[in-house]
């Protein structure tokens, strides 16, 4: 491990670049195991930089140098210094042309960063620091250059040659070769560079922008996947229209291309004009993709498209500003999905995810602010905090300014900073300036990590007819931040009367937003005629932990009547959580389990007897809180008791309402339903009914599952039935898994589901099964989707067996982190996150996890990616 590999980079050390690159010309002579790159860079000293250093230092990794020339003069080895990660050229003039020629080997690039091979195609991934694995460069986001790219390759192996921008020219060469050139007129940082070469089929379409510009749309996939591209194309068109309507943002090139690749470290990448996507977020047919897959595809296509403005036209000054583009773009894609589907459902899903996973991250050793102060490996900071909490912070700004004020601020931001690399402060400043407001205190959300805790108490004064809420805020200690300043927390609130009606709160409004700024603060409402039921933190208006002890009767009152769809759901979840935790306590104390409150059964019954209009929302309303979410609420996770309690409550609800679950299942089970919003909503509710019925594990319900599996005409129903059979110990389930494999063995994305289901099975021998799956001919450690479907699913979605008391789950994951690190450090580091939350476990398990973390830490060689995660995890 060399020093450079462990170096911590600090935000406070940021300095402007000494040199800029106005123009970048690249020539690629492509071949899978020997690609030659020639670059020609127009370099100038940066007038904004005070230093006048005689050295130009470029970044480069795993490159073989062929030649360097300045202004046409070839350099000799005395004129430059070559290190593992840098190339330093001395005696540089103020302005010059630098030409470099180097060689790379895409096939050996299993890290999937830079230029690599996926199946038989060549593609790139440059964010964050992959461009330096293609050629030496000023590989930092504040160096923005215009790019001209020419690719030369075998015409049979690589008939399609793509790069950023607009197609410029093409031609044929001797020896079966051809070439294509591309020009991107928009200056961009190197992380947005992309190239694709392959034998690809293409779905084409077009889009006319709001100012009547004609844009070609192209989705590239392997030939056999062409029939699964319609939904991606439609999603793209929906996103383009929505961004014009909601944010006034128009597309700016002649063509927008999406390429689906099988080997990809994450979901997708927003390269200018040429998005590269994981196949998982492009390919969909009803037969092979679930309703959730369809929704995710539209969201990710939207997300990458929205980056064209929030990320590409206006980019980040440095990687500490990552949430500038990611938090904002997630906020934009969330608004888009809410608009396309259901506001209520989208908000609940987002908050569920945030509270289950981001809150956990923020409460553990890897906690960091949405604008971090330091990092070792930037790829470790593409986190739920940067993305999801970052989006919540933007959402609070939206709440505080209102939709029109927020839009005015965004317009100013885009206009002011178009073509620039900027900071989160610049973003907030634009919102402040456009609205003549001051967000100084609000900016603590960018600097301080941790989930703020807000305690609420209430008091009704019958004589004065006033209702007073007292809020107290504090934020737990996080690594490197012992004390915190108060946050500005927008708290949206409403009050319900006894009949469940909203009480007007001045100005005739029934929902008001209170701004909590102090550590303790009171708010009083006048003219309240009787003691109300408060609905606090409507729409989850801030990413906080709200503590408010409400009697169960009042919770159920909210569950029945709250007009805020989020808080209505929340009230039900609170009731159910309390019931499950009471059951956990009873199990731990070997007492009889508490029975279900009648009021809860009646509330469920009335919904089941008279279904709501939005069945997708209804499905969420009647779902139990997930075990993962509940585990996070426990001070010390008792996983076995939690599983038992969760199952017991589900079984009791199942038994209490069993005829209604069955009649609703039958009413909404429609084998040949399509994929309209109504069909999707019915399916989610119907499959929830099946889930409750299956809690009895009776023969009749098993028959329902197998019948649903056999008759299924879409993946949602097929996988829902199979996942019900997944946990049963009886040998009955095996033939269904075999049949599923036989049916889908040529569809990689479906086989990923097959692997993932088995990896999260609750069956007693699940770990042995998972180990066997690693020997399956379809398992491949070099394919991130496969690794995630088996190993990551076991680590993240099978808490029962991952946390086995003998430590076998932890040891298995550690073995695989070590094996994977040699192949793909980014994916290995992601997996290592699963070992970071040991503080939540009992002391025996804590020791077992720490042993594994130390074992990983002592490996040599070890990537800085994994080393950073295990070191921070152990430092807690």
The sign of the torsion formed by the CA atoms of 373, 374, 379, 380 equals negative
Residues in the chain: 876
Rounded to a whole number of angstroms, the minimum distance from the CB of residue 5 to ligand B3K is 17
Q: What character string, x for contact with Zn ion (CB under 5 A) and - otherwise, covers 275-314?
A: ----------------------------------------
Q: From CA 186, how far away is CA 760, in angstroms rounded? A: 46
Task: Identify which of residues 257 and 603 has a Cβ nearer to Zn ion in the complex.
Answer: 257
Question: Nearest approach, Cβ of 792 to ligand B3K (angstroms)?
Answer: 16
Token digits of residue 749? 């994305």
Of 222, 298, 304, 361, catalytic: 304
User: Which residue's structure tokens are 């403005």?
Assistant: 309
Residue with tokens 């699940």: 766
Burial of 141 (0-12, 13-18, 19+ CB in 10 A): buried
Tell me how far, at minimum, the Cβ of 219 lies from ligand B3K, in Å: 17
CB closer to Zn ion out of 231 and 307: 307
Nearer to ligand B3K, 190 or 492 (CB): 190
* Full DSSP string of 15-28: ---SEEEEEEEEEE
Residue with Cβ nearer Zn ion (130 or 572): 130
Nearer to ligand B3K, 382 or 685 (CB): 382
User: Given the complex with Zn ion, which of 326 and 747 has the nearer CB atom?
Assistant: 326
Q: Chain-centre distance of CA 728, in angstroms?
A: 31
**Residue 635-664 contact track with Zn ion, rule CB under 5 A, x = bound:** ------------------------------
Q: Which is nearer to ligand B3K, 281 or 467 (CB)?
A: 281
Compare residues 374 and 743 and give the one whose CB is closer to ligand B3K: 374
CA gap 739, 865 in Å, rounded: 40
Long-range residue pairs from 552-556, CB within 8 A, at least 24 positions apart, any chain: 552/578, 552/597, 552/599, 552/600, 553/599, 556/597, 556/599, 556/600, 556/603
Contact of 829 with 380, CB cutoff 8 Å = yes
Question: Closest approach of Cβ 269 to ligand B3K, in Å?
Answer: 5
Which partner, Zn ion, ligand B3K, none, binds residue 145 by CB below 5 to 8 Å per kind? none
502 makes contact, choosing from ligand B3K, Zn ion, none, with CB < 5 to 8 Å by partner type, with none
* Binding-site partner at residue 382 among Zn ion, ligand B3K, none, CB < 5 to 8 Å by type: ligand B3K
Phi, psi values for residue 548, rounded to 5°? -150, 110
* Chain residues that interact with ligand B3K, rule: CB under 6 A: 127-128, 266, 268-270, 303-304, 307, 326, 379, 382
- The Cα 396–Cα 638 span in angstroms is 35
Give the nearest distance from C-beta 20 to ligand B3K in angstroms.
23
Q: How far apart are CA 371 and CA 60, in angstroms?
A: 26
Report the DSSP pairing between strands 214-221 and 255-261: parallel
Strand order in the sheet with 114-118: 114-118, 121-125, 195-198, 160-163
CB of 304 to ligand B3K, least distance (A): 5
Residue 129 C-beta: closest distance to ligand B3K, Å: 9
- 244 an active-site residue? no
CB of 331 to Zn ion, least distance (A): 11
Query: Is residue 45 within 8 Å of residue 18, measured between CB atoms?
Result: yes
| Smallest separation, CB 235 to ligand B3K (Å) | 15
Burial class (CB in 10 A: 0-12, 13-18, 19+), 817: buried
748 binds, among ligand B3K, Zn ion, none (CB under 5 to 8 A by kind): none
End-to-end CA distance of the chain: 23
Paired tokens of 208:
């006319």
Of these partners, ligand B3K, Zn ion, none, which one is at the site of residue 638 (CB under 5 to 8 Å by kind)? none
Q: Which does 266 bind (CB under 5 to 8 A by kind): ligand B3K, Zn ion, none?
A: ligand B3K
| Contacts of Zn ion in 314-373 (CB under 5 A) | 326, 329
Q: Are 649 and 583 in contact (CB under 8 A)?
A: yes
Q: Please return the burial class of 26, using the count of CB atoms within 10 Å of its CB with bins 0-12, 13-18 and 19+.
A: buried
| Sign (positive or negative) of CA dihedral 269, 350, 449, 802 | negative
- Choose the one of ligand B3K, Zn ion, none that binds residue 379, judging by a C-beta under 5 to 8 angstroms depending on kind: ligand B3K
**Among ligand B3K, Zn ion, none, what binds residue 564 when CB lies within 5 to 8 Å by partner kind?**
none
Q: Which does 233 bind (CB under 5 to 8 A by kind): Zn ion, ligand B3K, none?
A: none
User: If you compute the radius of gyration of the chain from its CA atoms, what whole number of angstroms results?
Assistant: 28
Q: Which is nearer to Zn ion, 96 or 305 (CB)?
A: 305
Tell me the DSSP string of 176-238: TEEEEEEEEEEEE-GGG--EEEE--EEEEEEEE-TT--EEEEEEEE-GGGGGG-HHHHHHHHH
Task: Name which of 295 and 326 has its Cβ closer to Zn ion.
Answer: 326
Asked if the peptide bond before residue 128 counts as cis, ω within 30 degrees of 0, the response is yes
Closest approach, Cβ 209 to ligand B3K, in A, equals 22
Q: What residues are labeled active site?
A: 304
Under the rule (CB under 5 A), what is the footprint of Zn ion?
326, 329
């Amino acid at each position: 491990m060399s020093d450079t590999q462990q170096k911590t980079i600090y935000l406070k050390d940021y300095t402007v670049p000494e040199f800029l690159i106005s123009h970048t010309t690249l020539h690629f002579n492509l071949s899978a195991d020997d690609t030659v790159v020639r670059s020609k860079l127009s370099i100038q000293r940066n007038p904004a930089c005070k230093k006048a250093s005689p050295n130009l230092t470029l970044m480069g990794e795993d490159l073989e140098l062929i030649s360097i020339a300045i202004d046409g003069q070839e350099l000799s080895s005395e004129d430059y210094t070559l290190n593992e990660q840098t190339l330093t050229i001395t005696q540089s003039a103020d302005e010059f042309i630098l030409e470099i020629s180097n060689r790379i080997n895409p096939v050996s690039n299993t890290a999937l960063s830079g230029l690599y091979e996926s199946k038989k195609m060549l593609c790139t991934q440059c964010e964050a620091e992959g461009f330096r694995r293609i050629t030496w460069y000023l590989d930092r986001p504040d160096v923005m250059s215009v790019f001209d790219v020419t690719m030369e390759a075998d015409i049979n192996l690589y008939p399609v040659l793509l790069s950023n921008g607009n197609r410029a020219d093409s031609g044929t060469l001797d020896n079966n070769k051809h070439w294509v050139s591309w020009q991107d007129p928009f200056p961009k940082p190197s992380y947005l560079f992309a190239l694709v070469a392959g034998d690809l089929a293409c779905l084409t379409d077009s889009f006319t922008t709001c100012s009547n510009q004609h844009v070609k749309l192209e989705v590239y996939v392997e030939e056999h996947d062409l029939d699964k591209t319609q939904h991606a194309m439609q999603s793209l068109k929906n996103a383009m229209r929505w961004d014009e309507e909601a944010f006034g943002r128009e597309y700016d090139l002649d063509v927008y291309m999406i390429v689906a690749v099988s080997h990809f470290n994450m979901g997708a990448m927003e390269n200018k004009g040429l998005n590269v996507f994981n196949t998982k977020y492009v390919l969909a047919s009803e037969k092979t993709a679930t309703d959730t897959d369809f929704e995710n595809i539209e969201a990710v296509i939207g997300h990458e498209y929205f980056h064209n403005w929030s990320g590409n036209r206006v980019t980040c000054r440095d990687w500490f500003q990552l949430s500038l583009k990611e938090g904002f773009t997630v906020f934009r894609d969330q608004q888009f999905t809410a608009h396309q589907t259901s506001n209520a459902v989208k908000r609940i899903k987002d908050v569920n995810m945030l509270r289950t996973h981001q809150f956990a991250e923020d409460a553990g050793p890897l906690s960091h602010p949405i604008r971090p102060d330091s990092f070792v490996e930037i790829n470790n900071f593409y986190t739920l905090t940067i993305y999801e909490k970052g989006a919540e912070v933007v959402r609070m700004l939206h709440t505080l300014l209102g939709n029109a004020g927020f839009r005015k601020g965004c317009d100013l931001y885009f206009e002011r900073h178009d073509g620039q690399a900027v900071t989160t402060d610049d973003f907030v400043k634009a919102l402040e300036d456009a609205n003549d407001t001051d967000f100084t205190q609000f900016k603590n959300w960018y600097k301080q990590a941790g989930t703020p805790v807000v305690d609420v108490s209430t008091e009704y004064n019958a004589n004065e007819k006033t209702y007073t809420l007292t809020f107290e805020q504090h934020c737990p200690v996080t690594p490197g931040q012992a004390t915190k300043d108060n946050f500005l927390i927008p708290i949206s609130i409403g009050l319900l009367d006894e009949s469940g009606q909203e009480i007007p709160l001045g100005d005739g409004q029934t929902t008001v937003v209170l701004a909590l700024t102090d550590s303790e603060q009171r708010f009083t409402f006048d003219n309240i005629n009787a003691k109300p039921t408060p609905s606090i933190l409507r729409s989850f208006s801030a990413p906080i932990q709200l503590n408010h002890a409400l009697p169960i009767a009042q919770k159920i009152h909210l569950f029945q009547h709250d007009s805020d769809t989020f808080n209505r759901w929340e009230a039900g979840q609170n009731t159910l959580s309390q019931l499950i935790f009471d059951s956990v306590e009873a199990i731990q104390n070997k007492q009889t389990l508490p029975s279900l409150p009648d009021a809860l059964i009646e509330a469920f019954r009335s919904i089941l007897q008279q279904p709501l209009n939005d069945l997708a929302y209804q499905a969420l309303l009647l779902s139990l809180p997930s075990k993962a979410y509940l585990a996070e609420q426990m001070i010390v996770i008792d996983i076995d008791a939690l599983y038992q309690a969760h199952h017991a409550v589900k079984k009791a609800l199942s038994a209490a309402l069993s005829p209604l679950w069955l009649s609703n299942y039958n009413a909404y089970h429609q084998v040949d339903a399509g994929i309209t919003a109504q069909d999707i909503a019915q399916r989610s509710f119907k499959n929830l009914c099946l889930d409750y019925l299956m809690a009895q594990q009776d023969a009749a319900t098993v028959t329902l599952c197998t019948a649903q599996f056999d008759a299924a005409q879409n993946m949602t129903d097929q996988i829902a039935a199979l996942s019900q059979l997944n946990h049963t110990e009886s040998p009955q389930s095996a033939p269904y898994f075999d049949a599923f494999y036989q049916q889908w063995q040529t569809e990689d994305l479906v086989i990923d589901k097959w692997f993932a289901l088995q990896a999260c099975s609750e069956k007693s021998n699940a770990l042995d099964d998972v180990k066997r799956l690693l020997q399956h001919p379809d398992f491949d450690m070099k394919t991130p989707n496969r690794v995630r479907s088996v190993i990551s699913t076991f680590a993240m979605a099978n808490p029962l067996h991952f946390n086995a008391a003998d430590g076998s789950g932890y040891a298995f994951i550690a073995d695989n982190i070590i094996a994977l690190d040699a192949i793909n450090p980014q994916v290995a580091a992601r997996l290592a996150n699963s070992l970071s939350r040991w503080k939540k476990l009992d002391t025996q398990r804590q020791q077992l996890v720490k042993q594994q973390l130390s074992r990983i830490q002592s490996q040599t060689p070890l990537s800085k990616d994994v080393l950073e995660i295990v070191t921070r995890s152990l430092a807690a």
